[in-house]
């Protein structure tokens, strides 16, 4: 797991919805965590991948925005948010395997052209018969 510097994290607590009885109405247990991605100093490939992984969770200002309201306590939601961010950053650091370009052989290309010609002749013979 990656260590996220405290200076890059901003947390706000909001009232959560869902189970919890009157506790939900009284206590702000849900956490909204903002992580400044630029402060993490990620490699360019990791930043690009994090951007695609995050999707709409990434703001135009380069902040990763996560809202967690899974648990009934602040501490548990806070820990879950940090775990999710760390997991996302770990995934971003894993490089994809490079794709090796391949091209079809001459015989494969010839087979493709032959099948296309065959289909064309089949389609040409279809249609209404002439009155001649």
User: Residue 43 belongs to a domain with what CATH number?
Assistant: 3.30.160.20
- What's the pLDDT score for residue 42? 81
Work out how many domains the chain is built from and give that number.
1
pLDDT of 58-96, one tens digit each? 888 888 888 888 887 888 888 898 888 888 888 888 888
Asked if residue 108 is part of any domain, the answer here is no
Q: What is the distance between the terminal CA atoms of the chain, rounded to a whole angstrom?
A: 81
Residue 21, domain extent: 6-93
Backbone CA torsion sign across 35, 39, 42, 44? positive
Which residue from 68, 59, 60, 72 is spatially nearest to 87, judged by alpha carbons? Answer: 68
pTM of the model: 0.65
């Amino acid at each position: 797991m990656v260590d996220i510097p405290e200076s890059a994290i901003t947390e706000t607590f909001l009232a959560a919805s869902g189970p919890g009885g009157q506790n939900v109405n009284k206590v702000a247990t849900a956490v909204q965590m903002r992580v400044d991605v630029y402060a993490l100093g990620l490699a360019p490939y990791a930043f690009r991948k994090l951007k695609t992984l995050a999707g709409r969770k990434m703001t135009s200002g380069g902040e990763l925005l996560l809202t967690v309201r899974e648990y009934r306590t602040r501490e548990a939601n806070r820990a879950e948010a940090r775990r999710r961010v760390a997991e996302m950053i770990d995934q971003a650091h894993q490089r994809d395997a490079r794709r090796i370009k391949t091209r079809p052989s001459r015989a494969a290309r010839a087979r493709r052209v032959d099948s296309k010609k065959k289909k064309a002749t089949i389609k040409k013979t279809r249609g209404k018969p002439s009155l001649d």
